[in-house]
Amino acid sequence: MTGRLHRYRPVLIPAIALAVLLFLSFSASLLAPYDPTAMDIVGRLKPPSAAHWLGQDEFGRDILSRMLHGGRVSLTVAILSSLIAMAIGVTLGLIGGYFRGLSEILTLRMMDIILSFPPILLALLVVTLFGPGIVTLTACLSILFAPGFARVTYGEALAVRQLDYVESARALGAKSGRIVLGTVLPNITGPIIVQFSLTVASAILIESGLSFLGLGVVPPEASWGLMIRSARGYMSYSAMGLVWPCLALIVTVLIFNALCDGLRDIFDPKTRPSRVPPVPVKTAPAEPDPQALLTVNDLHTHIATERGTVRAVDGVSFALRPGETLAVVGESGSGKSMTGLSLMGLAPEPAGRIVGGDVWLRTRSGKVVDLAKADDQTLERIRGDEIAMIFQEPMTALNPVYRIGDQIVEAILRHRNLDRKAAWAKAVEVLDHVGVPEPALRARAYPHELSGGLRQRAMIAMA
């Protein structure tokens, strides 16, 4: 039970806040102390008091009552339009992503046409043509946000349809509809839910913007955007009348954004904690080899997953002396890369953890540092200076928007007290040292302009 609560902790506070917000908004008829449309001309623009906690507006209406009823209208429009947009977008995305062909072309082109218009501009056009009102606003926002769901669903469905279990279902003779609804859709619900929470926040802002412009909710119906529009003309007399609906909008959007971030963390397998956290492994005490630059003693790295703990590195030991080259040989998935990442203190967080063993590194000064127990500050100082890792895919390791020389200069400036001009000269020098032809010219090239071999040499130069 504790592990399950720990997994859902990122959304716990936003979910509670959202539940409170929904309760206050949709129970407005019971909670509101006054009729939101009842006017009291004598009490125009009065400040907060015991009778009216948030004050009264330009018509003497109770602001708290209008805030509660306005929240119900804003949230109803946002949630309903997001649900309709999700239904339309997910359907089109599944059809285009799974069946491909003509349906894919039609889906993408139709979505591209809608996405080519700025959202608020398209909403203004539709509402102007068909008139303001809750129904028009909901329909407009539904059309506006459907392409976002279609794009997300299309991309996820395209990736899932090529996986083995989908191919197996197809080979067993399952009908396409059953595969799409029973196999593909359940495996892409995570990104769709995240997109939904993000869409609701955007819909609230657009609804408020249109109501502020007089093209959304029609008076005397309460809406946060309409309240901002009304209070703007009297802000010099009663500034709080403008503050309350603005504050409600800010808090609501922050709640949905926090919920979106939490859902993303939950559905991302890299951040899912294990139900049973890794326990430390007892290793036999040892001392570093006095002649070795690097001594690894009984190294254990575990990765926490929902199904339990995976022993990615299990009892690795070796010593590397000056002038020696050590080859680590093994099949795919045997832990070669994870061993290197563990030595560098780069085990995937938060799931990966060194649970036992020692990694002693003898620095240039002769000091021995245990990298397995070093803090982040020590590791940042040592990485790239005393020890480095060259990844096997340089194209993904190099930043595609920066020149090769700039990336090497960044590494040099991190560990050397040089100005940028001297660091650039040093970068050209190390490129020449690793055998890159015309190093001054190559230093000004982007990663995609170099061959795979030259990119690999650039990575070596950076190390």
Q: In the prediction, which pLDDT does 65 show?
A: 92
Residue 315 sits in the same domain as residue 446:
no
Residue 16 sits in the same domain as residue 120:
yes
Q: In the prediction, which pLDDT does 142 show?
A: 92
What pLDDT band is residue 283 in, cutting at 50, 70 and 90? low
- CA–CA gap between residue 247 and residue 239 (Å, rounded): 12
- CA–CA gap between residue 418 and residue 344 (Å, rounded): 25
Asked if residue 282 is part of any domain, the answer here is no
Asked if residue 285 is part of any domain, the answer here is no
What pLDDT band is residue 66 in, cutting at 50, 70 and 90? very high
- CA–CA gap between residue 166 and residue 333 (Å, rounded): 24
User: Is pLDDT above 70 for 334?
Assistant: yes
What pLDDT band is residue 424 in, cutting at 50, 70 and 90? very high
Instruction: Give the residue with greater pLDDT, 424 vs 6.
Output: 424
Residue 124 sits in the same domain as residue 83:
yes
Judge whether 120 and 206 are in contact, CB under 8 Å: yes
- CA–CA gap between residue 60 and residue 57 (Å, rounded): 5
- Mean pLDDT, residues 124-133: 81
- Kindly state the percentage of the chain with pLDDT values over 90: 16
* pTM metric for this prediction: 0.61
Highest mean pLDDT among 95-109, 115-129, 264-278, 342-356: 95-109
Q: In the prediction, which pLDDT does 67 show?
A: 92
User: Is pLDDT above 50 for 2?
Assistant: no
- Mean pLDDT, residues 250-270: 80
- Mean pLDDT, residues 90-101: 88
Q: In the prediction, which pLDDT does 145 show?
A: 92
Q: In the prediction, which pLDDT does 313 show?
A: 84
Residue 13 sits in the same domain as residue 118:
yes
Q: In the prediction, which pLDDT does 118 show?
A: 79
Residue 60 sits in the same domain as residue 172:
yes
Residue 255 sits in the same domain as residue 318:
no
Query: What DSSP string describes 228-256?
Result: HHHHHTTTTT-THHHHHHHHHHHHHHHHH
Over residues 308-323, the pLDDT tens digits come to 677 888 888 888 888 8
Select from 361, 382, 403 the last residue of a domain: 382
Asked if residue 276 is part of any domain, the answer here is no
User: Is pLDDT above 80 for 18?
Assistant: yes
Residue 107 sits in the same domain as residue 212:
yes
If DSSP codes are grouped into helix, strand and coil, which group holds residue 383? strand
Q: Quote the number of domains for the chain.
A: 3
Q: In the prediction, which pLDDT does 245 show?
A: 92
Asked if residue 388 is part of any domain, the answer here is no
Over residues 167-221, the pLDDT tens digits come to 777 777 778 888 888 888 888 888 898 899 889 999 999 888 888 888 788 888 8
Residue 327 sits in the same domain as residue 259:
no
Judge whether 297 and 373 are in contact, CB under 8 Å: no
Residue 307 sits in the same domain as residue 441:
no
Domain that holds residue 211: 2-267
Asked if residue 288 is part of any domain, the answer here is no
